[in-house]
């Protein structure tokens, strides 16, 4: 899942070398924190969160567990 998330985000941003993805398990929930350059935050979230929701949908479709998946977007 993390590899797919990283691939998608790095192809959306202007500064792919600054993309950082951290993951942690919180019980049955898998949390990914995606950090990008401040200038790229709008490219990853999109107007009204449309792109962020599409990224979540794609990553959730690749999940093999039945737990929750949370993806948080942040800027440096």
Tens digit of each residue's pLDDT (9 = 90 or more) over 34-45: 999 999 999 999
Q: CA 19, CA 17: separation in Å to the nearest integer?
A: 6
Tens digit of each residue's pLDDT (9 = 90 or more) over 15-74: 999 999 999 988 888 899 999 999 999 999 999 999 999 999 998 888 766 677 888 888
Q: Homologous superfamily of 2-75 in CATH?
A: K homology (KH) domain (3.30.300.20)
Burial 65-74 (b: 16+ CB within 10 A, else e): eeeebebebe
pTM for the model stands at: 0.85
Domain range list for the chain: 2-75
């Amino acid at each position: 899942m993390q590899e797919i998330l990283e691939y998608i985000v790095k192809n959306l941003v202007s500064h792919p070398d600054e993309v950082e993805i951290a993951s942690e398990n919180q019980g049955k929930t898998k949390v990914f924190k995606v950090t990008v350059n401040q200038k790229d935050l709008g490219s990853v979230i999109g107007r009204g969160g449309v792109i962020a929701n599409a990224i979540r949908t794609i990553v959730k479709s690749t999940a093999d567990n039945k737990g929750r998946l949370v993806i948080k977007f942040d800027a440096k």
